[in-house]
Amino acid sequence: MRLSADTLRQLRAQAEANPTLLPHYAQALLAFADELSSAGLPDQALSRSAEAVAVSRRGGSGPELAVALSSHGRFLSDAGRHTEALAAASEAETVARDAGPGYEPLLADVLAGRSLRLSRLGRHSDAIAPAREAVALRRAAAEADPAARPQLARSLISFATALAGLDLRGEMLPVATEAVAVWESLPPDRLDEHRADYAVSLTNLGFALHQSGSAEQAADLARRALVIQRELPDEAPTLAKTLNDLAGYLAEQERWTEVLPLAEEAVRVRRGLVTTSPAAFRHDLAASLTNLASTLARLGRGAEGLTHVREAVALFRELAAAEPHAWRGELGKTLLQQASVESRLDRHGPALALTAEAVGILEEVGDDQFRAYAQREYARVRAYARADLPAALAAADRSVEIYTDLYARSPAGYTVLFRDALLIKIGTLRVMGRTAESDALIRRIQTGRLA
């Protein structure tokens, strides 16, 4: 590390003797926190950023306090303390706005950070406005000075992240496309300095294209991002996310033998991250475990998959108990994944109970995509088990109803999911002996008329 604890102690002593040096000491604390975080020591990084905030309150200017608060919010988020992270980011925004004219770049950075904090708490709608404002500020700066283009690209990453959490597929694609274009407009040597952020932008663009129905293009972009991330140090978190994304794109094409090594690598990487920072990466590990479990089940290795998905559910139960608003939706989805694996193993009792619990959670969360998925799986598990068929059909009808609305908003993004919901309704009708109705739905799908 470029800084050391001894150096900081010397700076602290100097600042105590001469309070005009307090801002310099706060900056050193934040720099040391960044180094600690990169070294896989998030708890120590958080302690230093907290001290930087306290020092800035004593002897720093408003802008210096805003920087410290925003950085502290990032470290709190890395430690899994998302509610506290948002509080720090919100105070940073207030302080940055009070700084007045001339501090627009600072405000843009603080706004982008607050947007990310909101997204991590599942408040995706609230994350849009600060991200949009940050982009506007950074766009104006980049138009005045092309050297500010990297900052514009980073703000576009935050904006794309906020949009990804909502059903705003049409809006995310141009934002993600612009971010990649801004990076690629840089001279090669400057782009090389920002390869990590460029890879994140490629991943975001891939996700946006996937949401628009271009799965193969999405997979190609994820592969490009992986090449970059494998070459860079300290990119394990983004590497694991890209592995997960690529596995998901290939899974939709049922290329399970290609999916398996990607899903296994993502779990290995995230287990390593959890050993150094459990609070920061437990939710990521749970997501990768769920993907691995689904892949193993598809390959006929359901018993192995069940072990992994049970671990994922246990992790999300802990997270949801601590921060319900952030994690109950993910818990509900993971319960449905466990139910799917249990059902494939003909363990109908647990599958029925898990889907009932998941529906209760996801109806409460209120997201249309979650609700449609929950009702679809509730119906599928009951039809397969030949249990409570009237309730299964009601759930299938509800799933089709929600997907009809979603499909109307984005046909390319929901064709596969809508067709799956119709197929589950067809299967339920057949189990109930209502073949005329199921045959009519089959003809509807065969003609390509989903809605």
339-352: pLDDT as tens digits: 999 999 999 999 99
- Is the pLDDT at 406 greater than 70? The verdict is yes
Please give the helix or strand (H or E) that residue 82 lies within, else none: helix 82-98
Greater pLDDT, 282 or 451: 282
Tokens of 449: 């008329």
Q: Residue 296: its pLDDT value, please?
A: 96
User: Residues 207, 245: contact at Cβ < 8 Å?
Assistant: yes
The residue extents of the domains of the chain are: 237-366
List of residues 6+ apart from 102 with CB closer than 8 A: none
- In this predicted structure, which of 130-134, 137-141, 234-238 has the lowest mean pLDDT? 234-238
Q: Among the ranges 14-23, 55-64, 121-130, 259-268, which has the highest mean pLDDT value?
A: 259-268
> What would the mean pLDDT of 222-248 be, rounded to a whole number?
93
Read off the pLDDT band of 123 (50, 70, 90). confident
In the block, which residue shows the tokens 């952020």? Answer: 197
- Is the pLDDT at 1 greater than 60? The verdict is no
Q: Residue 217: its pLDDT value, please?
A: 93
- Is the pLDDT at 297 greater than 60? The verdict is yes
User: Rounded to an integer, what distance in angstroms lies between the CA atom of residue 205 and that of residue 164?
Assistant: 10
Q: Residue 120: its pLDDT value, please?
A: 83
User: Rounded to an integer, what distance in angstroms lies between the CA atom of residue 393 and that of residue 426?
Assistant: 9
User: Rounded to an integer, what distance in angstroms lies between the CA atom of residue 157 and that of residue 174?
Assistant: 12
> What would the mean pLDDT of 417-432 be, rounded to a whole number?
94
Q: Residue 175: its pLDDT value, please?
A: 93
> What would the mean pLDDT of 242-248 be, rounded to a whole number?
95
Q: Residue 413: its pLDDT value, please?
A: 72
- Is the pLDDT at 214 greater than 90? The verdict is no
| Mean pLDDT score of the chain | 91
Q: Residue 168: its pLDDT value, please?
A: 59
> What would the mean pLDDT of 414-442 be, rounded to a whole number?
93
Tokens of 257: 């033998």
> What would the mean pLDDT of 271-293 be, rounded to a whole number?
91
336-387: pLDDT as tens digits: 999 999 999 999 999 999 999 999 999 998 888 899 999 999 999 999 999 9
Q: Residue 167: its pLDDT value, please?
A: 59
Q: H-type helices in 165-231, by residue range? A: 169-184, 188-193, 195-211, 215-231
- Is the pLDDT at 2 greater than 70? The verdict is no
> What would the mean pLDDT of 114-118 be, rounded to a whole number?
92
Three-state DSSP at 80 gives coil
- From the options 1.20.1250.20, 3.40.50.9100, 3.40.50.10490, 1.25.40.10, give the CATH code of 237-366: 1.25.40.10
Nearest Cα neighbor of 281 from 30, 40, 8 is 40
- Is the pLDDT at 190 greater than 80? The verdict is yes
Write b or e for each residue in 274-313: b if 16 or more Cβ atoms lie within 10 A of its Cβ, otherwise e. beebebbbbbbbbbbbbbbbbbbbbeeebeebbebbbbbb
Q: What is the greatest pairwise CA distance in the chain?
A: 88
Q: Residue 354: its pLDDT value, please?
A: 97
User: Rounded to an integer, what distance in angstroms lies between the CA atom of residue 35 and that of residue 2?
Assistant: 8
Q: Residue 447: its pLDDT value, please?
A: 83
Q: How many Å separate Cα 277 from the centre of its chain?
A: 18
315-333: pLDDT as tens digits: 999 999 988 888 999 999 9
Q: Residue 424: its pLDDT value, please?
A: 95
Greater pLDDT, 52 or 416: 52
- Is the pLDDT at 43 greater than 90? The verdict is no
From first CA to last CA, the distance across the chain in angstroms is 60
Q: Residue 213: its pLDDT value, please?
A: 78
In the block, which residue shows the tokens 């407009």? Answer: 185
